[in-house]
A = this chain, B = another copy of it.
Amino acid sequence: MNVSGSTASRALADDPRIGAATRLAVKAAAIEMNYVPNAAARSLRARRTRALGLLLPDLRDPVHGQVASAFEQEARAQGYGVMVVAGERDPGRERLALRIFAEHGTDGVAVVSGLLSPRELRDRVDPDRLVLVWPDHRSLPRRDGARTPGVIQTDDASGVRAAVEHLIANGCRRIAYVEGGVRASNTIRAETVASTLRAHGERFPMQTFPAPVDAWRDPGQLAARIAADLPEALVCYDDQLALGLMDALRQHGIRIPDDMQIVGFDGIPFAAIANPRLTTVAVPSAELGRAAATSLIRAIHDGALPEGVLLPVEVVVRQSTGSVAALADQP
């Protein structure tokens, strides 16, 4: 079996001009010598790598893990590899990530919960091969349902509004918000809690407990401040914070939902099995990751950004906002 390079190349690519016999022989030989095409050479010629870049803050937290998982799965199903870089919520690291992607020549980039301005992003990578998931820069997130091409978001405001209305229906008046850092996503949630309260006739300004982005790791001080001036209900920036606070408040003898009700955000798996089970605004993280991959791959093929996506969220009522029904809920 001796054929020229081109014949081999064509046979492996199922070029119809190659005879069936030759094709089979070549393929057999390829398997025999466990040949794998060299992606570097192929990329050099084809000007594409069939690899995508995924930039996210952290692989450890449940939400981004879920997004990354779905993104990778969808990409793999469509024949793309995924290069992952954690930006660690640091603009410098995010810039480095983009550079890594550029050097490796990824065909497209998805940025999840990114801090860099859309302006700078589009300046650093081909804007027609860039999708933004949960952009966390003040210039992008929308309270309304507006969709920007290449931007994938969830309808956080609607979810938070529904959650607050659920608390109001439960008879809560003094509803406070616990911050998670000072990013745009936090601002939207805080403002939505406040505006929903106003819309329901609450006259006093909403109470806000400030907290850094990783307060859930060590919520002791925060819990003490809350315990010292206990509201009827707490809306937390996210589930991790809510779960950390539930634990810390327990030290102060505060019973949930009896003494205070509490709502999280994200819908991470542990929220469902916490004790008490945590009411939360659940976001479809897996769909988000999948949508990001499909949008990005479509953008690569079409050379232009597909329409933006706005995914719905859902309030999942559980024991922490303690209606009798919720307390009785079965697994």
Residues of B within 8 A of A34 (CB): 124
Do residues B73 and A65 form an inter-chain contact, with CB atoms below 8 A?
A: no
Do residues B220 and A244 form an inter-chain contact, with CB atoms below 8 A?
A: no
Indicate how many identical chains form the complex: 2
Q: Using A83-B83, A270-B270 as known contacts, say yes or no to A68 and B72 having CB atoms under 8 A apart.
A: no
The size of the chain A interface, using a CB distance under 8 A, is 55
Q: Is A60 an interface residue (CB 8 A)?
A: yes
Per-residue interface assignment for chain A, residues 320 to 331, with 1 indicating a CB less than 8 Å from any chain B CB and 0 otherwise: 000000000011
Do residues B72 and A65 form an inter-chain contact, with CB atoms below 8 A?
A: no
* Binding stretch for chain B, among A11-19, A245-253, A300-308: A245-253
Do residues B82 and A83 form an inter-chain contact, with CB atoms below 8 A?
A: yes
CB distance from A247 to the nearest CB of B (A): 4
Q: Is A41 an interface residue (CB 8 A)?
A: yes
Residues of B within 8 A of A37 (CB): 103
Do residues B104 and A39 form an inter-chain contact, with CB atoms below 8 A?
A: yes
The chain B residue with its CB closest to the CB of A69 is B59
Residues of B within 8 A of A103 (CB): 36-39, 81
Q: Is A275 an interface residue (CB 8 A)?
A: yes
Per-residue interface assignment for chain A, residues 58 to 98, with 1 indicating a CB less than 8 Å from any chain B CB and 0 otherwise: 11111001101100110010000111111000000000100
Do residues B72 and A85 form an inter-chain contact, with CB atoms below 8 A?
A: yes
Contact of A72 among B36, B59, B76 (CB under 8 A): B59
Q: How far is the CA of A296 from the CA of B273 in the complex (A)?
A: 38
Do residues B81 and A330 form an inter-chain contact, with CB atoms below 8 A?
A: no
Q: Is A292 an interface residue (CB 8 A)?
A: no
Q: Using A83-B81, A85-B81 as known contacts, say yes or no to A243 and B44 having CB atoms under 8 A apart.
A: no
Please name 21 pairs of A and B residues whose Cβ atoms are closer than 8 Å in the assembled complex, sorted by A: A40-B40, A40-B43, A51-B104, A58-B69, A59-B69, A60-B65, A61-B65, A68-B84, A72-B84, A73-B86, A76-B100, A81-B104, A82-B83, A82-B85, A246-B275, A247-B275, A247-B277, A250-B275, A270-B270, A274-B274, A275-B275
Which 4 pairs of residues, A with B, have the shortest CB-CB distance?
A40-B43, A247-B273, A59-B69, A275-B275
